Amino acid sequence: MSQKIAVVGSGLIGQNWSMIFASRGYKVSVFDVDQGQITRAEKNISVTLTQYEKDGFLRGEIPAAEQTKLVTFTSSLQDCLSGAIYVQECVPENLELKKKVFAQIDELIDGETLVASSSSCLPSSAFTESLKNRHNMLVAHPINPPYFVPLVELVPAPWTKQEVIAKVRELMEIVGQSPITLRRESLGFALNRIQYAAINECWNMYQSGLLSAEDIDKVCYDGLGPRYAFIGPLQTMHLNADGIVDYCKRYADGAYNVQKETFKPIPVQYDVETAEKIQAEYNASIPLDKIPEKRKWRDARLANLAKMKNHLEKDS
């Protein structure tokens, strides 16, 4: 009999997690307080999995109809958690709410159940400190949209047991996600630190009038981004010379000089005045009312890229 996973919260992130767990045959019980939201989530998962199957995007080897059946819904937190080996919390990013939900979960689980929060900013130490099962709790932060962008940032609290981190990492790998492990809590986790660093230089270049916003974006999506879809910044250094040590000997002084001459001191404040100029520039290409359409455009590409990466890995 397949094992059970509990998903607490049935918004978009909860739905993505449910489909990810079901793709590898786990039984998923999804909890929500809002019956209307449950109805929408149930329908959305069914429609989405059917569509993914049609488009060749479905994960795992199980047909969509069977995956859909693996996901059930409940408005009883007790029923949701009962017998679950793992709980993925997906409630809105609000400290008081996380505290409340984690306290309820803590009361209903046994000492074996592992509990991860999908929190994108809040460290789990902020809402698990006083709980009796806190050693089994951590953050497992997904990236949007999780079904097609597999990174999961595992961030332990100071009291999270090492074996718990290892088990959650293993579970993430089993279901096809791509876990990384932070060795301690750190503001912004890892992805946002790289993202803010990249934005900083985009912001500085725009503010100094060096390039248009459209051209700055193009530097990324037609230049640096394709590379970063397959290899990371450190690997890039390693491959662009005879290893990363050789890279540093050859290029580190040049990189230092570029930074010294062109970078502004950090932290950089993303000011509304500059944002307004950029937004005015986007009025021709991505006006506010076209944002939902452009998000769909992006997600279709992320789905195709995920499929392609999967196929290439199987071939090589």
Q: Please report whether residue 167 would count as binding a copy of itself according to CB under 8 A.
A: no
Binding-site member from 10, 148, 156, 168 for a copy of itself (CB under 8 A): 148
Token digits for 276?
């307004």
| Pairing outcome for strands 4-8 and 86-89 | parallel
**Closest distance to a copy of itself from the beta carbon of 289 (Å):** 10
Nearest Cα neighbor of 155 from 168, 144, 173 is 168
- Of 27-35, 41-49, 128-136, 289-297, which segment contacts a copy of itself by CB under 8 A? 289-297
Q: Please report whether residue 200 would count as binding a copy of itself according to CB under 8 A.
A: yes
By three-state DSSP, how is residue 68 classified?
Answer: helix
Helix (H) or strand (E) holding 253: helix 244-262
CB-nearer residue toward a copy of itself: 13 or 64: 13
Find the binding residues for a copy of itself in span 168-187 (CB under 8 A): 178, 180-184, 186-187
Binding mask 222-241 for a copy of itself (x = CB under 8 A): xxxxxxxxxxxxxxxxxx--
Nearest Cα neighbor of 5 from 77, 100, 80 is 80
Find out whether 49 and 20 touch, Cβ atoms under 8 Å: no
Binding-site member from 96, 254, 284, 314 for a copy of itself (CB under 8 A): 254
Between CA 149 and CA 228 the distance in angstroms is 13
**Closest distance to a copy of itself from the beta carbon of 154 (Å):** 9
Between CA 79 and CA 167 the distance in angstroms is 24
Binding-site member from 221, 284, 310, 314 for a copy of itself (CB under 8 A): 221
By three-state DSSP, how is residue 151 classified?
Answer: strand
Residue type for position 225: G
Find out whether 113 and 4 touch, Cβ atoms under 8 Å: no
Find out whether 86 and 133 touch, Cβ atoms under 8 Å: no
- Of 54-62, 64-72, 100-108, 196-204, which segment contacts a copy of itself by CB under 8 A? 196-204
Between CA 92 and CA 86 the distance in angstroms is 19
Beta carbons within 8 Å of 286's beta carbon, 6+ residues apart = 294
- Of 75-83, 126-134, 158-166, 201-209, which segment contacts a copy of itself by CB under 8 A? 201-209
**Closest distance to a copy of itself from the beta carbon of 92 (Å):** 14
CB-nearer residue toward a copy of itself: 107 or 256: 256
Binding mask 265-284 for a copy of itself (x = CB under 8 A): xxxxxxxx--xx-xx--x--
Token digits for 290?
């076209």
Binding-site member from 72, 82, 104, 192 for a copy of itself (CB under 8 A): 192
Please give the span between the terminal C-alpha atoms of the chain, in angstroms, as a whole number.
33
Binding-site member from 91, 256, 284, 314 for a copy of itself (CB under 8 A): 256
**Closest distance to a copy of itself from the beta carbon of 16 (Å):** 15
Q: Please report whether residue 159 would count as binding a copy of itself according to CB under 8 A.
A: no
Token digits for 149?
């962008």
- Of 36-44, 69-77, 128-136, 290-298, which segment contacts a copy of itself by CB under 8 A? 290-298
Q: Please report whether residue 12 would count as binding a copy of itself according to CB under 8 A.
A: no
Q: Please report whether residue 1 would count as binding a copy of itself according to CB under 8 A.
A: no
Binding-site member from 95, 121, 166, 174 for a copy of itself (CB under 8 A): 121
Find out whether 25 and 2 touch, Cβ atoms under 8 Å: yes
